[in-house]
Structure 1
Amino acid sequence: MDIVTEIHNRNKVFWVNPDRINSKKVLLKMKPGLSDIQEAEARLYRFAPLLVKLFPELNKFNGLIDSSLVAIPSMARDCGWLETGEQNNIFIKGDHELAISGSVKARGGFYAVYVIVEKILNEHGLDISLLVDKSMADIKSIIAGRSLVVGSTGNLGLSIGLMGRAFGFSVTVHMSADAKEWKKEKLRNIGVNVIEYESDYSEACRGARLSGDEAKGVYFIDDENSLDLFLGYSTAAVMLFRQLNLENITIEKNHPLFVYIPCGVGGAPGGITFGLKHIYGDNVYCFFAEPVEAPAMLFGLVTGENSSVSVKDIGINMETCADGLAVGRPSKLVAEIMAPILDGCFTVKDDEMLVYLSKLYDRESIKIEPSAAAGFSGPEFIINSKEGNDFLVKNNID
């Protein structure tokens, strides 16, 4: 049975990208590049003092948005990924605990707002450092009359809404039918205009796109094709690199890093993979995890059609408990960047996500959303499936 048929039948699949080539070589020719990641990180540091002013709880993080690297040995042993007595080598990046918004989407969403704020300041001949000593009223007076619009299944809208309102923007979030009610209410409670759709994520994004008009001060943040979002996510790789160094974990050919990242439209996992490949090259193996009910990136890459196809074309309607991954069509920008560097994708059923979610809470006392649990099927595929074992043999990994 060919893989498109497997996808259509909503079977679990583990797909290894046949088009992946030497990361270092392809990245040298690719735009964006390493300098763009470095500039994105520099912008985070420029905004850090102001973030402490806006959100005092960030003082202990020096104004940076990052999460802990959390060992999960009890869950790993329970799942059979770690032998009794074996030193733990399985971690989660705890973005469920990210300050202010509590999801990975804060990395890209907050950064995209920073880019717009800095652009407005530059138009007024101002520098971000000058805002640190200004009152909140002064800061908001500079931004006054401008708006942000975004389409979202939930978490990106939450991130844009929280940061946008903190700076004084009016914010409108176009939310798909998959969005959770509590996220809509949280946005409304901080003064965000929430427009609800009875249709899917793509329609919400289309509605947001049509309402954007930068010339009139209405800035559309494009979850499907935003380079700013992508680069914001890429800085997570730099932060992870530093954390692994602090744990004395060396990543090299004979000691590679495997990373399993939940994927919706692709911005967050794509940006993180892009950053990690720049740092570790082919010593890091990155796989995207998607629900069997919404394998947008997998379908786009397998067919080679990227964003020109939707899983709706083969009768899949994105009905999944993982609302953050309920996407039918991948980002064109991300799919094109990932095509030569991503190692592969796999799909997971809803009931498996819920089992992993429960195990993580029972064994490690960590609470996450279903979307965040999709990646836990990665070690299971690599360790216990024929496809995973074939991948290890092909890449000479013990």
Structure 2
Amino acid sequence: MHMSTATSPVSLDDVVRAQKLLAGICRVTPLEGSRWLSERVGGPVFLKCENLQRAGSFKIRGAYVRIANLTPEERARGVVAASAGNHAQGVALAAALLGARSTVFMPVGAPLPKVAATQAYGAEVRFHGHTVDESLVAATGYAKETGAVFIHPFDHPDVVAGQGTVGLEILDQCPDVRTIVVSAGGGGLLAGVAAAVKAQRPEVKVVGVQAETAAAYPASLAAGHPVALESLQTMADGIAVGRPGDVPFTIIREFVDGVRTVSEESLSRSLLLLLERAKLVVEPAGAAAVAAILDEPHAFEPPVVAVLSGGNVDPLLLLRVLRHGLAAAGRYLSLRVRLQDRPGALARLLSELAAIDANVLDVMHLRTNPKLHVDEVEVALQLETRGPRHCDEVLTRLRSAGYHLTFS
């Protein structure tokens, strides 16, 4: 099934050279055992914690290798990149470490902590467009105008070789690994890991994961060439890429054993579980591999390594995702209840909820709904519950007490 690496744009030697360049620059991130995932899979599952990497993601690896391999003349012209955040931080930090000036184009609305961190590493940030693809156009235009060297987030052999060092570390840390699960946007990390791993251990399965609302790889692999998505929307901004890179695509088509997709619900549930069970802060893109494992635990032969690609999550998004995750886990219930507009009606409703142990997080009295009768009010409730069964008990209790419920 797998051809020799002779046809690959990135060889094992390239990745080994990248690893030497990165010695002392980026962390060899920990590989953490995960009991709760292992129980579901029926064998050992480990988490490769690139969320604990310098600048919060694996991106420093590829960016540093790319900039380090520039000639002194090229480096003197400065570098330019486009990114929603992680690549921006990787480029900004790598450029600072190597004494190069950096300019980064980001989409309007990029997460503020990522913008602030990129600026803190010394990059000049410019905003253009609403997607990374639109920012890419502006960055390549800037490179033509100024002579700055464009550092692509994924579509360059040096970048892919740098990301591939994650694969070398996994083989070193978990020699008996059978399956490696990796999130994919443009495909730089997935391609790098596949190039590094398959050259030494062709029997190890390497599986990519994309957000189903931003999945360019399945259709591209079916077509045999990169196909651009017409639209994409996902909370996983780190993997929201509209078209696979040519360099990673060539490697992924040859060496990767499949690309799966996961829903927004699965991403938020995984992010929540990683926080609660592993005590790890991971961004939605970084939780994609775990989401795929949770969706179909028996599809992955253990020992499994899931790569947590990054941890740079905007606190406001984290708040939304946690709420979403709690709702998906049946621990957060949002509903509206119609009451007679008379004294004591709300107190009676709240005592019903107290009797069944539902914790009220928020309550709002609404009198302006045109569908309400003159003598009715609507109460919007947000409740904390213990899980799906408890949700059902709460709803059954309220209905049997004669309350009319709608859901928001």
Task: Give TM-score, length-normalised by structure 2.
Answer: 0.68
Does the 8 Å contact 1:296/1:327 carry over to 2? yes
Q: 1:258 is matched with which residue?
A: 179
| Amino acid corresponding to residue 275 of structure 1 in structure 2 | A
- Stretches of 4+ aligned residues off by more than 4 angstroms: none
Q: 2:189 is matched with which residue?
A: 268
- Pairwise CA distance, 1:110: 2.1
In 2 relative to 1, CA 178–267 (structure 1 residues): closer, same or farther, beyond 3 Å?
farther
In 2 relative to 1, CA 224–324 (structure 1 residues): closer, same or farther, beyond 3 Å?
same
- Pairwise CA distance, 1:237: 1.6
Q: 2:41 is matched with which residue?
A: 81
| Amino acid corresponding to residue 239 of structure 2 in structure 1 | L
- Which of 11, 24, 40 does residue 18 from structure 2 map onto? 40
The alignment status of 1:156 with 2:87, answered yes or no, reads yes
Q: The residue matched to 2:57 in structure 1 has which SS?
A: coil
- Which of 85, 94, 110 does residue 49 from structure 2 map onto? 94
| Amino acid corresponding to residue 280 of structure 1 in structure 2 | R
Q: 1:165 is matched with which residue?
A: 96
For residues 302 and 110 of structure 1, the distance between their equivalents in structure 2, rounded to whole angstroms, comes to 33
For residues 226 and 171 of structure 1, the distance between their equivalents in structure 2, rounded to whole angstroms, comes to 18
Q: 1:346 is matched with which residue?
A: 260
Within 5 A, what are the aligned runs for 1:12-91?
21=1, 23=2, 25-45=3-23, 48=24, 63-77=25-39, 80-82=40-42, 89-91=44-46
Does the 8 Å contact 1:209/1:222 carry over to 2? no
- Pairwise CA distance, 1:337: 1.9
- Pairwise CA distance, 1:362: 1.1
For residues 147 and 106 of structure 1, the distance between their equivalents in structure 2, rounded to whole angstroms, comes to 17
- Pairwise CA distance, 1:108: 1.0
For residues 273 and 17 of structure 2, the distance between their equivalents in structure 1, rounded to whole angstroms, comes to 39
Q: The residue matched to 1:340 in structure 2 has which SS?
A: helix
Q: 1:289 is matched with which residue?
A: 209
The higher-RCO structure (CA 8 Å, 6+ apart) is: 1
| Amino acid corresponding to residue 272 of structure 1 in structure 2 | V
For residues 140 and 260 of structure 2, the distance between their equivalents in structure 1, rounded to whole angstroms, comes to 30
Does the 8 Å contact 1:26/1:340 carry over to 2? no
- Which of 103, 107, 113 does residue 61 from structure 2 map onto? 107
Q: The residue matched to 1:160 in structure 2 has which SS?
A: helix
Task: Please give the root-mean-square deviation of Cα atoms over the aligned residues, in Å.
Answer: 2.4
What are the superposed Cα offsets for residues 86-125 of structure 1, whole Å, 9 maximum, x if unpaired?
Answer: xx510010000013x1101122122222222xx21xx69x
The alignment status of 1:223 with 2:183, answered yes or no, reads no
In 2 relative to 1, CA 234–290 (structure 1 residues): closer, same or farther, beyond 3 Å?
same
Q: The residue matched to 1:212 in structure 2 has which SS?
A: helix
For residues 221 and 78 of structure 2, the distance between their equivalents in structure 1, rounded to whole angstroms, comes to 35
Does the 8 Å contact 1:212/1:218 carry over to 2? yes
Q: The residue matched to 2:4 in structure 1 has which SS?
A: helix
- Which of 361, 366, 391 does residue 280 from structure 2 map onto? 366
| Amino acid corresponding to residue 276 of structure 1 in structure 2 | V
- Pairwise CA distance, 1:348: 0.7
| Amino acid corresponding to residue 49 of structure 2 in structure 1 | G
What are the superposed Cα offsets for residues 175-205 of structure 1, whole Å, 9 maximum, x if unpaired?
Answer: 1246312111222234321111233211211
| Amino acid corresponding to residue 56 of structure 2 in structure 1 | G
Aligned residue-pair number: 302
- Pairwise CA distance, 1:381: 5.1
For residues 365 and 243 of structure 1, the distance between their equivalents in structure 2, rounded to whole angstroms, comes to 21
Q: Sequence identity, in percent?
A: 23
Q: 2:381 is matched with which residue?
A: none
For residues 225 and 8 of structure 2, the distance between their equivalents in structure 1, rounded to whole angstroms, comes to 20
In 2 relative to 1, CA 340–365 (structure 1 residues): closer, same or farther, beyond 3 Å?
same
Listed as ranges, the gaps of 5+ residues in structure 2 are 303-408
For residues 28 and 144 of structure 2, the distance between their equivalents in structure 1, rounded to whole angstroms, comes to 32
- Pairwise CA distance, 1:163: 2.0
Q: 1:235 is matched with which residue?
A: 165
For residues 190 and 234 of structure 1, the distance between their equivalents in structure 2, rounded to whole angstroms, comes to 24
For residues 31 and 174 of structure 1, the distance between their equivalents in structure 2, rounded to whole angstroms, comes to 27
Q: 1:140 is matched with which residue?
A: none
In 2 relative to 1, CA 210–224 (structure 1 residues): closer, same or farther, beyond 3 Å?
farther
| Amino acid corresponding to residue 348 of structure 1 in structure 2 | V
| Amino acid corresponding to residue 186 of structure 1 in structure 2 | A
Task: Give TM-score, length-normalised by structure 1.
Answer: 0.70
In 2 relative to 1, CA 296–244 (structure 1 residues): closer, same or farther, beyond 3 Å?
same
Listed as ranges, the gaps of 5+ residues in structure 1 are 1-20, 49-62, 83-87, 125-142, 252-256, 393-398
The alignment status of 1:210 with 2:165, answered yes or no, reads no
Q: The residue matched to 1:311 in structure 2 has which SS?
A: coil
- Pairwise CA distance, 1:225: 1.9
| Amino acid corresponding to residue 166 of structure 2 in structure 1 | A
In 2 relative to 1, CA 28–152 (structure 1 residues): closer, same or farther, beyond 3 Å?
same
- Pairwise CA distance, 1:300: 1.3
